[in-house]
């Protein structure tokens, strides 16, 4: 049964959860003007990698990337799968710890980090144990109830915007030398890798999936330019979460919450919990492929406990920034090697299929 609509909504939710968090601060820090250029470059890279990835999956007759890599043999598949697994685990650890940090800043200043991290991982662990269909059904419900209001709030955030803050729009490509620019790739890569794991459990149309990604293009620009237009470049550059701070300055008389920020952040939390569930399930599926005697739910619990322990070892936000930068080689691998290898292996599989016929 075709479940493209469910996959599209989950893809949107995950990427919104990522783009409105670390991404604005990194892009704003990478340059003093012409932010549209690095944003446009990353949009092109995201769409190109996504298109290549989806085309490879299509050529492989809708199988998952684990099966595609296993066609090369167990040892060779491990060479491809190991960096992917480490990156997915890295994303789970860093995002859970980073969201725990922002929770202490925005909501619960006196709550221990460990308890917030435990909460952020416990709900996704339950969803991942219940299975991929439960994750997508939950995602569909979240999209129906939360996504429309989230989109309204994004556009309402232009309340204090000053269009002159956009200038100058030129750029000397100075961001190429900035570590923040490369760290920002964290938000544009991991958001589509889950698509390689869900088939044949959840079937979707690759072409429709690709065109649905085009609707995210305004979100890339909104997440960065809303704080710049309202607060200015210099002020935004000094803030850890510029978009969140901008939301805090908005006054809406008809809104039933005193703080728009709290409402919007709760939405982002639900989106990111869905993301964690997919990460846990994907990593568990890879592990199960090499240790088939251990059931996927057991792996999910073990991975969740491991991520919790590692997240608590991170001293603070400075170390999160360092780890984001140090993870650049893994991001390059997953934005270049994974889509390219899946595409080439897909073409190889299709050619072998025609020769066999």
Average pLDDT of the chain?
85
What tens digit of pLDDT does each residue of 193-228 get?
899 899 888 888 888 899 999 999 998 988 888 888
Whole-angstrom distance, CA of residue 159 vs CA of residue 157: 5
CA distances from 319 to 81, 196, 313, 315, 326 (A): 26, 30, 10, 6, 10
Query: What is the rounded (10 degree) CA torsion for 238, 243, 248, 253?
Result: 150
Distance of CA 144 to the CA centre of its chain: 20
Give the chain's domains with CATH numbers.
4-344 (1.10.4160.10)
Structural contact between residues 1 and 134, judged by C-beta atoms closer than 8 angstroms:
no
Most confident of 27-36, 131-140, 151-160, 342-351: 131-140
Q: Residues 6 or more apart from 39 whose CB is under 8 A from it?
A: 27, 220, 221, 224
Cα Rg of the chain, angstroms: 20
What kind and span of H or E run contains 217? Answer: helix 217-231
Q: If 0-12 CB within 10 Å is exposed, 13-18 middle and 19+ buried, where does residue 23 land?
A: buried
* DSSP 8-state secondary structure symbol assigned to residue 329: H
Whole-angstrom distance, CA of residue 12 vs CA of residue 121: 21
Structural contact between residues 330 and 184, judged by C-beta atoms closer than 8 angstroms:
no
pLDDT of residue 42: 92
What tens digit of pLDDT does each residue of 287-308 get?
998 888 889 999 999 999 999 9
Q: What is the pTM of this model?
A: 0.92
What tens digit of pLDDT does each residue of 216-262 get?
999 898 888 888 887 777 877 777 777 777 777 766 665 555 566 77
């Amino acid at each position: 049964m075709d479940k493209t609509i469910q996959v599209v909504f989950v893809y949107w939710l995950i990427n919104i959860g990522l783009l409105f968090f670390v991404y604005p601060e990194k892009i704003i820090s990478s340059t003093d003007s012409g932010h549209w250029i690095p944003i446009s470059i990353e949009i092109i890279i995201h769409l190109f990698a996504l298109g290549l990835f989806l085309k490879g999956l299509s050529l492989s007759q809708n199988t998952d990337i684990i099966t595609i890599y296993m066609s090369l043999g167990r040892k060779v598949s491990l060479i491809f799968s190991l960096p992917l697994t480490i990156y997915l685990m890295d994303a789970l650890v860093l995002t859970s710890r980073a969201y725990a940090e922002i929770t202490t800043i925005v909501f619960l200043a006196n709550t221990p980090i460990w308890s917030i991290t435990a909460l952020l991982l416990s709900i996704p662990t339950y969803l991942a144990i219940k299975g991929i269909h439960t994750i997508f059904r939950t995602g569909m419900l979240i999209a129906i109830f939360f996504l429309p209001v989230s989109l309204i709030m994004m556009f309402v955030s232009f309340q204090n915007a000053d269009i002159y803050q956009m200038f100058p729009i030129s750029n000397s490509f100075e961001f190429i030398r900035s570590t923040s620019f490369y760290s920002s790739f964290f938000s544009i890569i991991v958001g589509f890798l889950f698509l390689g794991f869900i088939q044949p459990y959840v079937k979707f149309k690759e072409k429709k999936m690709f065109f649905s990604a085009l609707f995210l293009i305004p979100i890339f620009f909104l997440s960065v330019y809303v704080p710049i237009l309202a607060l200015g470049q210099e002020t935004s550059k000094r803030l850890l979460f510029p978009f969140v701070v901008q939301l805090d300055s908005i006054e809406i008389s008809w809104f039933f919450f005193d703080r728009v920020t709290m409402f919007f952040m709760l939405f982002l939390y639900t989106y990111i919990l869905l993301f964690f569930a997919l990460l846990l399930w994907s990593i568990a599926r890879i592990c199960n492929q090499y240790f088939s005697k251990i059931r996927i739910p057991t792996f999910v619990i073990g991975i969740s406990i491991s991520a919790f322990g590692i997240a608590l070892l991170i001293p603070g936000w400075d170390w999160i920034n360092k780890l984001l930068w140090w993870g650049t080689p893994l991001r390059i691998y997953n934005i270049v090697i994974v889509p390219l290898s899946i595409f080439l292996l897909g073409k190889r599989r299709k050619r072998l299929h025609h020769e066999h016929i």
